[in-house]
Amino acid sequence: MIKKILVVLLIALIIIQFFHPKKNQASGNQPNYIGNVFAIPADVQGILKKACNDCHSNNTVYPWYSKVQPVDWWLNNHIKEGKKELNLDEYTNRNLRYQYHKMEEVADQVKKGEMPLNSYTWIHKDAILTKAEKTALIGWADGIREQMKAKYPLDSLIRKKTQ
């Protein structure tokens, strides 16, 4: 009986290897990319590339193990969730309140050590941010918010929760 169950599980594991979700890889320039409107210093660009872009952009660099199911489904779910929270390639396509709030969240989550996720840094050790990298990323996010405050009326960016 146990042998039959193991055979069925093995067959199921082999069959699911042929079903993969669509890859998160866009071609060409991204017209709504945050860097098209707000300057991204080289050090911050490096931080975004190594610790953020795989889940928060339209272009993921997939590791070798993404070719194995059910791992690929799990990765795809993380990428979808990450893009739902913040997609740097679609950032300027959103309203100003959203943009302002997301930069506020970036700074807050990096300060608290909530980003990048532990499940990402377990395998991507280079994505573990140093204190200097955290400071640079937080400063960049705060700088974008300051630029937005200077360019747009404050009440158009921040809405009281009582409304």
Domain span holding position 122:
2-157
Asked if residue 162 belongs to a domain, the reply is: no
- Residue pair 157/100 in contact (Cβ under 8 Å)? The answer is yes
Asked if residue 163 belongs to a domain, the reply is: no
pLDDT in tens, 5-27: 988 888 887 887 888 888 888 88
| Cα angle: 94, vertex 53, 88; to 5 degrees | 10
Asked if residue 95 belongs to a domain, the reply is: yes
pLDDT for the residue numbered 13: 79
If one counts every other C-beta atom within 10 angstroms of the C-beta of residue 73, the result is 13
- Rounded Cα distance, 45 and 102, in Å: 17
Whether the predicted pLDDT of 161 surpasses 50: no
pLDDT in tens, 144-156: 999 998 888 766 5
- Rounded Cα distance, 88 and 30, in Å: 9
pLDDT in tens, 59-118: 999 888 888 888 888 889 889 999 999 999 999 999 899 999 999 999 999 999 999 988
Asked if residue 117 belongs to a domain, the reply is: yes
How many structural domains are present in the chain? Answer: 1
Residue 5 CA: distances (Å) to CA of 10, 11, 17: 9, 10, 19
Does 41 sit behind a cis peptide bond, omega within 30 degrees of 0 on the bond before it? no
